[in-house]
Every structure is written in C-alpha cells, then in structure tokens.
Amino acid sequence: MPPFDALTVGDEIASSRYALTRESLVRYAGASGDFNPIHYRDDVATSVGLPGVLAHGMLTMGLAVQPVVEWVGDPGKVRGYQVKFTRPVLVDPAAGAEIDVRAIIGHLDTEALTARVDLTVTFNGETVLGKAQVIVTFGG
C-alpha cells in the first residue's frame, strides 16, 4: 500500500481481467447458496426471457473489488463499497465470459485519510457495474 500523500486523483491503481466459466458459476452457487437455475441452466434462463445463463451479480461485485483489496494489501482497510448493477454478464457455455476491472483514485479526503477508488467494470466493452466505488482507509 503506497503512502496516502503519494496518491493523486486520477491515478490508475489497478486493472485486472477475470475469466468466468459455467464451472465458476456452479462453484459460486455452492459457496454462496444461490442455486437459482438462471445461473447454470440455459433452458431456465431463456424460459424467463433472458438471453442465456448469467453470472451472479454478487460474484461480479466480488471480483470487481479484488484488485483494490490486493492493492491495499489488507481487506480490513476497505471501509465501504457500493455498486449499481447496470447490465448482466452472459456466460457462454463454451467461451465463458471475461470481466475487465479498472480502478482509479476518484477522491482523496486528507482529513479522514481515505481514498475513494472508482471502478470501471466492463463485459464485452459495456459497463456492467455503475457507480462502483470503494472507500479505503489509510488511517490507523
């Protein structure tokens, strides 16, 4: 974790790409207890009007914050996290899906010693999480 005074608004602090497969979704379903079949069965997903199997929103959200956690080095330094789900991530049965995450310093609070990290999270070039922001503390 760099020192707070070395940060500048606009700094890109991390970028990552995450590959998802249908197996990833099944594993996440088991870990989270979310066994909604729209996350692993095409027939069910299409029967409710979806284009196919979708990644769990919380899985996407969890992956998106990971580069910030790695950058800060301590998950306890993350004091807040918010997103707005704007588009689903369609996971192709053969090709899977890739989520791209870019993390940029959006605001620095010198009094509280916190940084707001703004995330850009995309799938196929389209934003899937809007207003994705992480608050990180640099204080004791």
pLDDT range class, residue 105, cuts 50, 70, 90? very high
pLDDT range class, residue 1, cuts 50, 70, 90? confident
The reply to whether the predicted model has a pTM over 0.75 is yes
Domain 4-20+57-137 has what CATH class? Answer: alpha beta
Backbone phi and psi for residue 139, each to the nearest 5 degrees, phi listed first: -80, 175
Tell whether the model's pLDDT for residue 137 goes beyond 80: yes
CA-to-CA dists, residue 126 to 31, 73, 117, angstroms: 27, 29, 20
Report which of 80, 91, 83 is spatially closest to residue 128, judged by C-alpha positions.
83
Kindly provide the residue ranges of all beta strands, DSSP E only, lying in the chain, ordered along the sequence.
12-20, 78-85, 97-109, 114-123, 126-137
**Confidence at residue 139, expressed as pLDDT on a 0 to 100 scale:** 84
Report which of 55, 57, 53, 70 is spatially closest to residue 16, judged by C-alpha positions.
70
Token pair recorded at residue 100: 């791209």
**Confidence at residue 128, expressed as pLDDT on a 0 to 100 scale:** 98
Tell whether the model's pLDDT for residue 140 goes beyond 90: no
Name every residue whose Cβ is closer than 8 Å to that of residue 128 and which is 6 or more positions away in sequence.
60, 85, 86, 87, 88, 89, 99, 121, 122
Average pLDDT on 113-139 reads 97
Amino acid identity of 17? R
Classify 123 as helix, strand or coil. Answer: strand
Amino acid identity of 51? P
55-92 pLDDT tens trace: 999 999 999 999 999 999 999 999 999 999 999 999 99
Domain ranges of the chain: 4-20+57-137
pLDDT range class, residue 52, cuts 50, 70, 90? very high
Tell whether the model's pLDDT for residue 138 goes beyond 80: yes
19-48 pLDDT tens trace: 999 999 999 999 999 999 999 999 999 999
